[in-house]
Structure 1
Amino acid sequence: MTEAELLSRIFPRLPVPDAVLLGPGDDAAVLAAPDGRTVISIDTLVEDHDFRLLRPSGHCTTGYDVGWKCAAQNLSDINAMGGRATSLVVSLTLPPTTPVEWVEALADGLTAAIRELGATGCGVVGGDLGAGAQLVITAAVTGTLEGREPVLRSGAEAGDTVAVAGTLGRAAAGLALLEDGRPLQDLGVSGEELVAAQLRPRPPLAAGPAAAVAGASAMLDVSDGLMRDAGRIATASAVGLDLDPAALQQYAGPLEETAALLGIDPMEWVLGGGEDHGLLATFPPGVLLPAGFTAVGSTVPGEPLVTLASQAAALRGWDHFAH
């Protein structure tokens, strides 16, 4: 199939955003920017680094899964700034043997994530196709702040409340199950739900703008693990973040059965597992937490470190190069 023929199969499957003035077909798209500012981010998924087509559990990763995850992680980055996504451009590097149906399913996964996650007004406005030795999916996302100021990582101050929106540890548990040798059909309903959390994460897209409106002082997307990402706020804001293990237990408790199956402490998934794409935010004293946020700690003066119940804790989380 030629490039033009493949594009003709992809474009009809993709949603068109509200802000588009000129969509796919030219050298570049043209978008309206009523706010006068554009938020932009980019993420890449690489075969055998960010996903495997065949897992040790026997699970075959579908194009739908990869498309969903590609959309979710990009939409989450705009969410973490307190913004709303307006468009995606997607670059695909495909081995020549890639089934056309896999690519169509990828487009369907992109579309489903945009719609089901509630990215109202967002769509795909173009991209690029190329051939290569392995699958690589890169998406750049634009967004609008809708007149608000962006919520940065650097605004936290001592005495702020540290809060989480979304889930923690579920995607990491799902990854552990996918990498385990046991067939997924033997894991029951809870195992299937955790695997789905890894393959098709559900970032809380309403929470980012709500946090911005409520007056969040700092915020980021938890993609590399709670401890590592909390450390990024600590460093950028020059404050310490003290996490409350008792508050975090609500995330670890539902994972205990699966953790026992694999011989893992579920708190390790909560503290070190990324890819749930929830939000970690800080709020000044007296600010009522927006719906969906749960307090899990506080910011403290001193060294920009992350502690657990005021005790030093080992760094956990994902680093692309260290791993």
Structure 2
Amino acid sequence: MTDDGTTLAGRGEAGLLGDVLAAYRDLPTDGVLVGPGDDTALLAVRRGAVLATTDTVVRDRDWRDEWSSAQDVGIKVVTQNLADLAAMGGRGTGLLVALAAPPTLPMDWARGLSEGIATAAGMAGVPVLGGDVSSTASDAVMVAVTALGELADGVQEPVLRGGVRPGDVLAVSGPLGRSGAGLALLEGGASVGRDEQERRLLDHHRRPVVDLEQGPVAARAGATAMIDVSDGLVRDSDRVARAGGVTLVLDRGALERLAAQLVPALPASGALRQVLAGGEEHELLATFPAASAVPAGWTVLGQAVAADGADGPPGVRLDGSRLDPATGGWDHFGG
């Protein structure tokens, strides 16, 4: 994409909206009764219930311009929203997009953002229904996406965080630690990547892409609880444990096998740290009533036990020690 030097102020709101909406015109429109252009969109609901979630990303908090392109930002914010729907056993039916930016922001950045959103939405088969634009009085740039969805075919009830029971096994839908490893590489100055492994890790941090169909797959397999790994394995598994009133006991061998996939891009100790605490992964973490129910391709990470007696209050344990979620993972206000 060539930068023509035009800013948002130079293009104007009407021009900005025209360019943005043009990026979404080839997305699917099944179920969209009224699309962008009116005060609100009108969406047909097949199953009588709607899933809804929203995420916001802010420049210099959730991405840095020197590390990520506008397209990267668009893909990331769509992925993290659709992963939330997948974690309930759902699929997306529509996206609403909001951009708040200074008038001096290059118009090509806004176009690139729309291209990234369209790329991720197109891969998931989800239309963009509309949104909003606003200006900021500073250099702040904020992108917010609201995702609407419904339970996937064959999923009768949403999978909640609190359904885990003692005896359930804990499993994850894919690798862990890639985004955190990519961030560590960027912080170490490796913005391009010295080999294919580093390039994949950098890509997953900048523009994560995951198999969203694994959410419905897990729900149909009988998952008792599920969450997407957005803030780190320890923090997110602790949320599941507390919601269900159990202790989740992690298997070191399984964690070390996942960590080995990050070596030699990271040293072994750093790789294990990212598996435990690296955020923005967006793979799905779920519990199942038996190991035989775990879908093919998922990795068993541990087991739920009763949170009483010697096992203490609900939480996460490794090698007999309780893991503190405050020391691993991401908190928007605590770091």
Q: Please, which of 69, 72, 77 is the counterpart of residue 70 of structure 1?
A: 77
**Conserved? CA contact 1:214–1:287, under 8 Å:** no
2:252 corresponds to which residue? 245
- Structure 2 residue matching 1:163: 3-state secondary structure: strand
1:202 corresponds to which residue? 209
1:151 corresponds to which residue? 159
Distance in 1, Cα, partners of 2:112 & 2:306: 49
Given the alignment of the two structures, is residue 34 of structure 1 paired with residue 41 of structure 2, yes or no? no
Deviations 1:23-76 (A, max 9, x none): 00011101011100000000000011111112xxxx3x2110000001100010
Amino acid at match of 1:229: D
Alpha-carbon spacing, 1:281–1:186, altered in 2? closer, same or farther (3 Å): closer
Question: Which runs of 5 or more structure 1 residues have no equivalent in the other structure?
Answer: none
* C-alpha displacement of 1:299: 0.3
Measured on the aligned residues, the alpha-carbon RMSD in Å equals 1.5
Q: Please, which of 168, 174, 178 is the counterpart of residue 182 of structure 2?
A: 174
Amino acid at match of 1:25: G
TM-score by length of 2: 0.90
Distance in 2, Cα, partners of 1:125 & 1:313: 42
Q: Please, which of 297, 301, 305 is the counterpart of residue 302 of structure 2?
A: 297
2:7 corresponds to which residue? none
1:257 corresponds to which residue? 264
1:49 corresponds to which residue? 61
Alignment of 1:73-84 (within 5 A): 73-84=80-91
1:309 corresponds to which residue? 319
**Conserved? CA contact 2:121–2:128, under 8 Å:** no
* C-alpha displacement of 1:176: 1.0
Of stretches 211-220 and 94-103 in structure 1, the one that deviates more from structure 2 is 94-103
Distance in 2, Cα, partners of 1:68 & 1:185: 19
* C-alpha displacement of 1:286: 5.8
- Structure 1 residue matching 2:45: 3-state secondary structure: coil
Amino acid at match of 1:295: V
Deviations 1:125-177 (A, max 9, x none): 00000111211000000001145200000100000010000220000000111
1:4 corresponds to which residue? 14
Amino acid at match of 1:110: I
Deviations 1:76-98 (A, max 9, x none): 00000000111100000111121
Distance in 2, Cα, partners of 1:153 & 1:170: 24
* C-alpha displacement of 1:183: 4.3
**Conserved? CA contact 2:222–2:293, under 8 Å:** no
Identity of matched residues, %: 43
* C-alpha displacement of 1:288: 2.2
- Structure 2 residue matching 1:258: 3-state secondary structure: coil
Amino acid at match of 1:47: R
Which aligned segments of 4 or more residues in structure 1 are displaced greater than 2 angstroms?
A: 182-189, 285-288, 309-315
**Conserved? CA contact 1:207–1:292, under 8 Å:** no
2:221 corresponds to which residue? 214
Question: Which runs of 5 or more structure 2 residues have no equivalent in the other structure?
Answer: 1-10, 308-312
**Conserved? CA contact 2:32–2:44, under 8 Å:** yes
Distance in 2, Cα, partners of 1:286 & 1:227: 21
1:126 corresponds to which residue? 130
Given the alignment of the two structures, is residue 285 of structure 1 paired with residue 290 of structure 2, yes or no? yes
Distance in 1, Cα, partners of 2:222 & 2:210: 20
2:4 corresponds to which residue? none
TM-score by length of 1: 0.93
* C-alpha displacement of 1:251: 1.4
